[in-house]
Structure 1
Amino acid sequence: MPATETFRIPKHRRHVSVARRRLREALADWGVAGELTDTVTLLASELVTNAVLHCRISYAQVEVTLTLDGAELALEVSDPDRDRLPRLHDSAPDEEGGRGLALVAALADEWGCRQGPYTKCVWALFALGEAESARIPPPL
């Protein structure tokens, strides 16, 4: 049975750090450590920041779900602005932002987005290596 951590944060920049902390705690509880924790936390920060900055729905909440299922870790970030899908683009060297999805594409094993009836979700998948999978105890 997969282990899952799901929580919501208000759509405000000051809550991005709360998402990072909650994810680090969940990963630590599951025995996931090292570079994978850093990568998942970095990409979560990028995806949550994108949701916070680009969601046009007032008083929205951003939902973050992290799921450990066997040798795969899934990160999902959802917001209620379902018709505004993210797109990967090249950023000019002098642009301050616009590189978050490029980081996700480079560091996740797979990524994408999907529309639900009332939300959109951007997701990233991470394959755990054999050594890493062996270190992680099965969920209770």
Structure 2
Amino acid sequence: MPSTETFRIPKHKRHVHAARQHVRKALADWGITDDHADLVTLLANELVTNAVTHCRVSYAEVRVTLTLDGTALLLEVSDPDRDRLPRVHHSGPDEEHGRGLALVEALADSWGCRQEPYAKCVWARWETRVPAHS
């Protein structure tokens, strides 16, 4: 049976740090503490930052779900701005922003986004060396 950790944060940049801490703790609880944990935490930071930055719904919450199923690790970040699906922006060398999804695209085994009834979800998936706990 898969292991899942879900939490919500208010849609504000000051809460991105708390999201990183939640992700890091969930991964450590599952025995993922190596460079893979650093990678997943980095990309969770990027996806959560995108959600809190670009969601136009006032007083929204961002939902983060991590699922470990066998050796597959899935990160999902959802916000209620369902009609604004993200797309990769290839930033120039002098641009300070816009590299988050390009990082996700480059570093995840697969990624994508989907519209849900009341939200959009951006997800990234990796294979790990640590199987889920039974």
TM-score (norm 1): 0.93
CA displacement at 1:5 relative to structure 2? 0.4
- Measure the CA separation in 1 of the matches of 2:68 and 2:132: 11
Misfit runs of 4+, over 4 Å: none
Structure 2 counterpart of 1:83: 83
Secondary structure of the 2:15 match is: helix
Secondary structure of the 1:56 match is: coil
For residue 133 of structure 2, what is the amino acid of its counterpart? P
CA displacement at 1:104 relative to structure 2? 0.2
Deviates more, 1:87-96 or 1:77-86: 87-96
Structure 2 counterpart of 1:67: 67
- Measure the CA separation in 2 of the matches of 1:90 and 1:106: 12
CA displacement at 1:26 relative to structure 2? 0.5
The alignment yields a C-alpha RMSD, in angstroms, of 0.9
Please show how residues 1-140 of structure 1 align to structure 2 within 5 Å: 1-128=1-128, 132-133=129-130, 136=131, 138-139=133-134
Give CA-to-partner distance per residue, 1:15-63, whole Å, 9 cap, x none: 0000000110011011011111000000000000000000000000000
- Identical-pair percentage: 69
CA displacement at 1:93 relative to structure 2? 1.2
- Measure the CA separation in 2 of the matches of 1:88 and 1:103: 9
Gapped regions of structure 2 (runs ≥ 5):
none
CA displacement at 1:90 relative to structure 2? 1.1
- Measure the CA separation in 2 of the matches of 1:41 and 1:116: 24
CA displacement at 1:68 relative to structure 2? 0.3
- Measure the CA separation in 2 of the matches of 1:57 and 1:137: 35
For residue 101 of structure 1, what is the amino acid of its counterpart? L
